[in-house]
Amino acid sequence: MKYTPKLPDDRVNNPKENLLLNAMKLAFSLVVIVSLAYAVLLYAVDFTVEHLSFENEKKLIKYAKVDFNLKDAKKSEYLQQVTDKLLKCSKIPYGVKSYILKEDSINAFALPGGKIMITQGMLKRIKNENELASVIGHELGHFKHKDHLKALGKSLVLGVMSLFLAESYGNLFTATLQVTDAKYSQSQEIRADLFGIDLMQCAYQSVNDTDALFSRMDKGESWKYFLSSHPDFHKRVDSMREYIKEKGYNANGKIIALKSF
């Protein structure tokens, strides 16, 4: 048989499917896979945390990332009195201690081992005991739902996956994880807000001024909170007011003056 050479088919170098479209399909598939894997890992973290004993929780404090010196934290009898008053309504099965942190930043947070830190910057913004109780009640909400421990687990998962994916596939997947993590955290913050409202109604028979602090902080710049672990203040205030109305809580109770810290 005589061999007759011929040129290759023109379609060899001109595939029917668009290469850019194929790349987009691949990227989308990888994003879906990564998001599902992240969701599964978050569920595993939550399950583990829910079954963690308080004794083991206290051991985790050394793994908590903090940008301050805990030695700068000071006790306050008045701060603890408000904390204990709310704690009685919380059904949290262990004691919680509150401290004043020598920091000008406006912040308050829960730490493993039953510790609440409230910065001096935050205390300067608070105008009455109602507002103070709202802040403490919110942090007790994080203890109730073990959000402070879940945050440690999420940080570990996010750090490992971000490191791996950033090197393997680029920044697209790191950004995907950051958005997922932010939305996850924002839902926890709102849930803690509402739990704090329940505590105030129980402890003070009033939720007056519960949302006052957030209302003053609200500047209407919702977009900047898209990649933040906290929802914007406007959204939080709306959620709190809707919840108070839904529950029929007393929003006209006495405003209690602050005592000395």
106: how many CB neighbours lie within 10 A of its CB? 16
Residue 174 three-state SS: helix
Token pair in block for residue 18: 């668009």
**Structure pTM?**
0.71
Strands 108-111 and 115-119: antiparallel
What's residue 162's pLDDT?
A: 63
Q: Which long-range contacts (CB under 8 A, 24 or more apart) does 213-221 make?
A: 213/125, 213/126, 213/127, 213/131, 213/134, 213/135, 214/240, 216/125, 217/106, 217/125
Structural domains counted in the chain: 1
Q: At 110, give phi and psi (nearest 5°).
A: -100, 140
Task: Give the model's pLDDT for residue 222.
Answer: 44
Query: Residue 7: which pLDDT band, with cuts at 50, 70 and 90?
Result: low
Is 152 among the domain residues?
yes
Does 99 fall in a domain? no
Domain membership of residue 170 as a residue range: 18-65+127-247
In a domain, 38, yes or no: yes
| pLDDT reported for residue 226 | 37
Q: Is residue 261 part of a domain?
A: no
DSSP state string for 52-89: --HHHHHHGGGGS--SS-GGGEEE-HHHHHHHHHHHTT
At 180 the pLDDT is 44
pLDDT of residue 201: 97
Residue 113 placed within a domain: no
What value does the mean pLDDT take over residues 182-202? 85
Instruction: Give the model confidence (pLDDT) of 48-78 as tens digits.
Output: 767 777 777 777 666 666 666 777 899 999 9
In a domain, 9, yes or no: no
For residue 131, being part of any structural domain is answered with yes
What integer pLDDT is reported at residue 159 of this predicted model? 64
Per the domain annotation, does 254 fall within a domain?
A: no
**How far apart are the C-alpha atoms of 128 and 150, rounded to whole Å?**
31
Mean pLDDT of the chain: 78
Residue 56: predicted pLDDT? 74
Average pLDDT over residues 209-238: 68
Per the CB < 8 A criterion, the answer to whether 106 and 76 are in contact is: no
Query: Which pLDDT tens digit goes with each residue over 111-130?
Result: 888 899 999 999 999 999 99
In the DSSP assignment, the letter for residue 13 is S
